[in-house]
Amino acid sequence: MSDEAYFSKGIDSKAPVLLLLHGTGGTETDLLPLAKEISPDSSVLSVRGNVLENGMPRFFRRLAEGVFDEEDLLLRTEELHAFLDEAAGQYEFDRGNVVAVGYSNGANIAGSLLFHCEGSLRGAVLHHPMVPRRGVQLPDLSAVPCFIGAGRNDPICTVAETEELIELLESAGAPVTAHWTAQGHQLTYPEVQAAAAWFKQVFLK
């Protein structure tokens, strides 16, 4: 995992710790404004991907647009899972109370944690995710609520792709809430507001 990480201790120790995972070309500071919108009292752990694509940080390699390097994806997923275990000890937060907030490439690595590392996340906010991997048996996700923000005209994450991911998560028992926009692959403020309202209802009530 990247050495570039940011941690901020929140004022509500019972609120989920937000794991922030940026999109391609982003850094560990990109999604900090989202954390303030979604759960301002939460502790925040934000990390920078340690794979470079033309100088742009990512969380795993891809072979082409929309084509993941599955071997590297599995390696980086395990690295991130191990990093979370280490960070929980270093920063003294509840390892079982982590909710991922990811956008694009960050949402995809968060989805891979859901698919491959049982118990790694308490929940997930996935903005414009793709199906991380096909043909695998998912763990029981019945206690792992997920929010998916998607664009009906997203050229990267198509409607069919999003619906397939929802179906896979729901088939593993995950309660999934989808919020659709018409802003392509762009992450908009109304989408963030919808994620914040969902998060409050699910985790802060």
Instruction: Clarify whether 171 is annotated catalytic.
Output: no
Q: Of 39, 43, 104, 120, which is the active-site residue?
A: 104
What three-state secondary structure class fits 50? coil
Instruction: Clarify whether 154 is annotated catalytic.
Output: yes
CA 160 to chain centre: 20
DSSP category for residue 1? -
Per-residue pLDDT of the chain (205 residues; tens, 9 = 90+): 555 899 999 999 999 999 999 999 999 999 999 999 999 999 999 999 999 999 999 999 998 888 899 999 999 999 999 999 999 999 999 999 999 999 999 999 999 999 999 999 999 999 999 999 999 999 999 999 999 999 999 999 999 999 999 999 999 999 999 999 999 999 999 999 999 999 999 999 8
Q: Which residues, other chains included, contact 41 with Cβ-Cβ below 8 Å and sequence gap of 6+? A: 10, 11, 12, 15
Instruction: Clarify whether 104 is annotated catalytic.
Output: yes
Q: Sketch out the chain's domains with CATH numbers.
A: 5-203 (3.40.50.1820)
Rounded Cα distance between 154 and 182, Å, is 8
Rounded Cα distance between 126 and 178, Å, is 10
